[in-house]
Each structure stands twice: as structure tokens, then as C-alpha cells.
Amino acid sequence: MDVRGSQHRLREEEIDAVAMAVTAVVVGGSPRVRQSQIVAACAAYVEKKVTHYRMPLPVEHVIAFALYRWASGETYESGTSAFGIGRAIGLQAVHDVTSALLQAYPDAIKWPVGRRRAQILRAFRDKGFLNCFGAIDCTHIYIDKPADTPSHNYYDHKQKFSVQAQVVVDLDLRILDVHIRYPGSVHDVRVLHNSQLWRRAEAGELFDAPPENLPHGVVTRGYLLGDNGYPVACPWIVQPYGGIDQDPDEERFDTRQKVAWGCVERAFGRLKCMWRLFLRTHKTNLETLP
């Protein structure tokens, strides 16, 4: 999981995004069933000491507010009012729960090993892709026009201000790697080349499956599925052929590749449906988000 900020520290919106991704992995499909487990795991990191000035909020209350904010996407003013707390307390609650999640579940987002790795390879093999480890793509976290920084850097192709999030997922929509660092105007290829994923892949640390022979004499120990935005020269990202003058074999391959690669798009859809905060524009500057 690579989430370093441009100044080698996590910015608030980046921490929030990773925390939501971690929570999505932990929660799975049923937040009601898992909430008590999240509270139990995070309690030690969130619980405050009793002082002479006031009693701290119950841990359950703090965690519930953070999850509610991420799930509803409401503003702090509206969310804190519903929970009967002040805005400052709401800001601190989200910060505390974010930190607690990253400490309580340090391995929730990690590259697959052992049995999980074998399951992922088998699932992609069944789709026709030998030694495939996952699918990669980028999505945007929308922000308001940044203050005290060149705003044009964050102006993306959809004419919105955003931060790039590079994500790798498997066919079960489980997140295997995330990299949040660059402004929305940066191309996906540059994000890839400056990520920890690229450095580890180029060093031979990620793809270690037994060699498989692919068409055209290609031998591979592992790769990811990507779209046509990624460089053809990258030996560990497989893209569709594309184009309009395709032979039947190329058409069949592109169809299978797009279906399998579509898991990353479905993962984005699931994240944004579960955590509505991804869908709204963060109305503040980069130093105070979320």
C-alpha cells in the first residue's frame, strides 16, 4: 500500500480515501454484521482518557460517526448535528478513526501470498488468463480548487479538481494495492511509473508464479490487466489490442480481456456506492481535508 503525499506524508484526503478502502475490505458486504468487530479492533486506538474537564465520547459513538460520514457523504455540519456533537469533535473523530483503522488493519490491503495468491491465479486462469495477478486502473478523488498550490495541476480531463488514486484489484473486487499521490492532471502512466508498485514489479518482487507460455512465444511469471492507456512496452501489463481492423482472434481476446479487467471498474463502483464521500467534492483545501 503506497500512500505517500508529495511531501512524504499523508494528506488528509488521501488518509480518508485509504481508510475507506481499508474499511470496505474489512466490512465486506455487510456493515451491520461487521461493525462490532471494527469497534473491538479499533477501540484501543480511539479511546480517550477521562479528564477533569469532560467525559470522552464513547468509542462506539466516535466510530459510528466516522462510518456514517464516509457512507453518507454528508458535510460535517449536517453529520455532526445528527449525532449531537460539534464540528471540531467530528473532525477529530474522523481523524482518530482513520488512524485507528490503519493501525488495527495494517494488512487489509496487501499483495496476495500463499493460499490467497493461488485462489487469485486460479480465478483468472478460469477466465483464460494464465498467471494474472489482478487488474489495474486509476480513479479520481474530487476536491475543491486547492489553496496555496498551483490549482491547474489538479484540473483533470473531466474539468474538475481531483487527486489520482491508482488501484489494483482481483476478481473478488478485493483491493491488493493502492497508490494515492498525484494531482488529477497527471496521466495514469506517470502515476504508475512513480508508484511503489512499479518499483517492486521492476525489481521482480511481485510476479513469482511458475513460468507459463503465452501466445506469440511469450513466457511470463505474472502480470496485470490494464486498459489501452498503459504503455504497450510494459511487459507486466496486458492491454486489449484495440483498433477497428481486428481479426477474429484479436476480437475474442479483447472481449475476454475487457470482461476480466472490468473487475476494477466494478470495484470502483462498489466503493463509491458504499462510501458516498467518494462522490462529493471536498469543499476545503488540501491541508484540512476531509
Q: What is the DSSP string of 248-284?
A: HHHHHHHHHHHHHHHHHHHHHHHHHHH-GGGGS-B-S
Share of the chain above pLDDT 90, in %: 34
Query: Which among 86-90, 111-115, 214-218, 270-274 has the top mean pLDDT?
Result: 111-115
At residue 265, what are phi and psi to the nearest 5 degrees? -70, -40
* pLDDT at site 142: 85
How large is the average pLDDT for residues 39-46?
A: 85
Share of the chain above pLDDT 70, in %: 82
Rounded-to-integer distance, Cα 268 and Cα 249, Å: 30
Model pTM? Answer: 0.83
Strand, coil or helix: 239: coil
Could you tell me the pLDDT band of residue 34, with boundaries at 50, 70 and 90? low
Residue ranges covered by each domain of the chain: 12-107, 114-276
* pLDDT at site 9: 41
Residues whose CB falls within 8 Å of the CB of residue 143, separated by 6 or more in sequence, listed in order? 13, 154, 161, 162, 163, 281, 282, 286, 289
C-alpha cell at 70: 464516509
* pLDDT at site 4: 47
How large is the average pLDDT for residues 155-177?
A: 90
Q: Are 171 and 262 in contact (CB under 8 A)?
A: no
**Mean pLDDT, all residues of the chain:** 82
Q: Are 224 and 143 in contact (CB under 8 A)?
A: no
Could you tell me the pLDDT band of residue 15, with boundaries at 50, 70 and 90? low
Q: What one-character-per-residue DSSP string does 70-135 give?
A: HHH---HHHHHHHHT--HHHHHHHHHHHHHHHHHH-TTSS----HHHHHHHHHHHHHTT-TTEEEE
| Whether residue 151 has pLDDT greater than 80 | no
237 membership: H or E segment, kind and range: strand 237-238
Handedness of CA 221, 226, 230, 231 (dihedral sign): positive
Residues whose CB falls within 8 Å of the CB of residue 127, separated by 6 or more in sequence, listed in order? 171, 256, 259, 260
Q: Is 153 exposed, middle or buried (0-12, 13-18, 19+ CB in 10 A)?
A: middle
Residue type, 223: Y
Name the pairing type of β-strands 223-225 and 162-169.
unpaired
